Amino acid sequence: MRIGLLGLGLIGGSVVRALRETPISEPPKPSSVAAWTPSGRGPAAAFEDGLIDRVAASPEEAIDGADLVILAGPAPDCLAQLDELAGPWRRVLGPDAVVTDVASTKEAIVLRATALGLRFVGGHPMAGRETSGYEASSADLFVDRPWVLVPTSDAAAVERVEALARACGARPVRLGASAHDRAVAGISHLPLVVAAALVEAVAGRASDGPSGDWPIAADLAATGWRDTTRLARGDVTMGAGIIATNAPAIAARVRELISALDGWLAELERPGGPDAGEMADRLRAARERLEAMPR
């Protein structure tokens, strides 16, 4: 199994670590791994760590003859690379090559790949952290985590990507692209927007400068603030790409959040003050929903 990666940050780096550093009882045990990034820093570090066999000087060199091509950059980069794979890069693809990706949005990418006639299986490992880059990668990042695959009629291609997910310690989950995007808009993308909006609301927007009481609030901030704003500390390029390629689903979730917040606002502004019992009921209901989630 020859693997070519375009992108080697947190997710791509964790893929090669998982494939090289953990025991694999089934294919695809890679016979060779080549990687390319615009800067070349991640592949150079991975080569020094003994995780990849070749630091590619170009995308074409990374995918030349690969059995599995992994697009491991932001979603907009994946869209652009699909165009290249269907165009000038097609000549270097192996005759049986399968292309997959690890981006956080699926519908736009799958539709593009389908329209271009590529042998493509959309993928999204449901794992990550707020730190980014190859240096943040980990061999156990995907262990016991869902790895979403968008199924196609090409059973062999789907099975190849599922084998990759299992080899990384993940649990393959087949899901339609639109269903995936609606779900992650709620559990992943909306929280990103909310974290950034919370910073804007409390600390002030960049265009307006810091809010008047932000210096005092910043000095008092502790774990609650840190935990709820964690996602706003992440990779800006990756986050912007997510929002740009899943905007309708995220917008629908934002409207749902506004409706919920309007309910809280009405209670807070109730004449005579909020009803403590009502507030306790809402907080208790939210806690019970969370406690009922699968662990």
**Owner of token pair 């170009």:** 58
- Residue in 250, 240, 244 with CA at minimum distance from that of residue 132: 240
Same domain, 152 and 228: no
Portion of the chain with pLDDT greater than 70, in percent? 98
Assess whether pLDDT exceeds 60 at residue 143: yes
The CATH number covering residue 287 comes to: 1.10.3660.10
Amino acid sitting at position 7: G
Identify the CA nearest to 250 among candidates 196, 174, 200, 188: 188
Q: What is the pLDDT of residue 94?
A: 85
Q: Using the 3D structure, point to which of 133, 150, 175 is the last residue of a domain.
A: 175
Q: How confident is the model at residue 253 (pLDDT cuts 50, 70, 90)?
A: very high
Is the previous residue joined to 215 through a cis bond, with omega within 30 degrees of 0? no
Tokens encoding 93: 């693809």
Taking residues 63-67, report their average pLDDT: 96
- Phi then psi for residue 68, to 5 deg, are -135, 120
The reported pLDDT for the residue numbered 28 is 55
What does the pLDDT average to over 146-157? 97
Question: Does residue 129 sit in the same domain as residue 223?
Answer: no
Using the 3D structure, point to which of 175, 196, 219 is the last residue of a domain. 175
DSSP string, 191-207: HHHHHHHHHHHHH--TT
- Residue 88 contacts residue 64 (beta carbons within 8 Å): no
Given the DSSP bridges, would you call strands 120-125 and 146-150 parallel, antiparallel or unpaired?
Answer: antiparallel
Domain holding 89: CATH number?
A: 3.40.50.720
Length of the chain: 295
Task: Tell whether 31 and 119 lie within a shared domain.
Answer: yes
Asked whether residue 49 falls in the same domain as residue 164, the answer is yes
Mean pLDDT of 169-194: 97
pLDDT band for position 31 (50/70/90)? Answer: confident
Q: Using DSSP, state whether 5 is helix, strand or coil.
A: strand
For the chain, the domain total comes to: 2
Domain with 122, as residue range(s), is 2-175
> What is the rounded CA–CA span in Å between residue 61 and residue 72?
16
CB 125 within 8 A of CB 142: yes
**Residues 27, 108 share a domain:** yes
- Say yes or no: 138 and 256 in one domain: no
Please indicate, yes or no, whether residues 25 and 165 belong to a single structural domain of this protein: yes
Which pLDDT does position 208 carry in this prediction?
82
Predicted model pTM: 0.91
Is 199 in the same domain as 154? Answer: no
- Check whether residue 134 and residue 262 sit in a common domain: no
The reply to whether 161 and 192 lie within a common domain is no
Confidence of residue 129 (pLDDT cuts 50, 70, 90): confident
Cα distance between the two ends of the chain:
34
31 and 159 co-located in one domain: yes
Q: In terms of domains, do 23 and 140 share one?
A: yes
Which pLDDT value is given to residue 95?
86
Among 160, 175, 190, the domain boundary falls at 175
